[in-house]
Amino acid sequence: MKESSFLIIDKEILPDIFEKVVEAKVLLKIGKVKSVTEAVKQVGISRSAFYKYKDYVHPLTDGPVGKKVALSFLLSHKTGVLSNVLQIISRNNCNILTINQEPPVNNIASVNMVFDITHIEKKMEDIICEIETVEGVERLELVAME
């Protein structure tokens, strides 16, 4: 499998076809049209052009562009531990995308979390250190960061 490469390019310098493909995809996604044929007719492109580019042209909000962090925790099964962790994440302008928590075993719960760090103002290392100081955070592991 070949490795993907992404570029951020101002749409002003691209041919209109790319923007029209995105428009057609949006029409389909929000249900304004029921078929590809209707979508391409509405935006003024051919079906073949749509199919040629549909997997390669995405609005910025749909793509893999962004900053995300995945953390894995072992937390004591005590009232407020997870809440204190979430407060630190919130205070640092992070947006939680997913939280998966297993039931506690031997009073320790496994928690995996992914959050968006696009708007943080601190270094991620500082936020991790702050979370590690929370009473009840028994282990914290940075799983991934993009």
pLDDT 10s digits, 88-137: 999 999 999 999 999 999 999 999 999 999 888 888 888 999 999 999 99
Two structure tokens written together for 87: 């407060």
Domain range for 34 is 14-53
Strands (E), the chain: 68-76, 95-101, 108-116, 137-145
- pLDDT digits over 45-67, tens only? 999 999 999 888 877 654 444 58
Query: Is residue 89 located within the same domain as residue 141?
Result: yes
6 lies in a domain? no
Cβ-contact 143, 70 below 8 angstroms: yes
Q: How far apart are CA 47 and CA 119, in angstroms?
A: 39
- Domains in the chain, number: 2
38 lies in a domain? yes
pTM for the predicted model, two decimal places: 0.56
Residues in the chain: 146
Cβ-contact 110, 81 below 8 angstroms: no
